[in-house]
Amino acid sequence: MASRRPRGPNILITGTPGTGKSTLASELSQRTGLKYVSVSQLATEMELFDGYDEQLQCPILDDDRVVDEMEEDMSQGGNVVDYHGCDFFPERWFDIVFVLRTDNSILYDRLQQRGYSGKKLESNIQCEIFQTILDEARDSYKPEIVHELPSNTPEQLEENLERILAWVAQWQVGQS
């Protein structure tokens, strides 16, 4: 009888745009071998949109189609998911959720460098000020799996990576 390899954990890295989600998630994927899933990239490649928001200058994600597209991979486990929202993902998908937080002055500069301006810039800064994504995560998942991480400096990025790598190692021990 073939031995069944335990599934890897599903990890969500979320936060306001500009907090360093993609950098952290892709580096975590490289160091662990877990599959990196950029929801924005997936939505673009698969055209999983339901219109365009002129005011915020961005496509509107079709949440249901995204969930349908991701369901099989998520049920198999071993994914690091990167997205700036989290309330539409099924709770059962994630073993742990990390919400990145960045000081507003640093975030403002990062978003400006990306070309954000006007309503889009203002909306994202307000999102961070009012900890919208953190509250969304706390409302969507069990409190014990939601962790807030500071993401202001390269040193904090490395500390966050080390913390998550330690969690993955501990998770794997618990699965064997």
Binding site feature residues for ATP: 18, 20-23, 114
Q: Are 14 and 3 in contact (CB under 8 A)?
A: no
- Annotated binding residues: 18, 20-23, 114
Q: Would you say the C-alpha torsion 138, 140, 144, 147 has a positive or negative sign?
A: negative
Cα separation values, 68 from 41, 42, 64, 88, Å: 15, 12, 6, 11
What's CA 131's distance to the chain center, in Å?
15
Instruction: Give the Cβ contact number of residue 71 at 10 Å.
Output: 12
C-alpha–C-alpha distance, residues 51 and 35, integer Å = 28
Say which residues have a Cβ less than 8 Å from residue 108's Cβ, sequence separation at least 6: 121, 125
Instruction: Calculate ∠ Cα 24-142-89, nearest 5°.
Output: 60
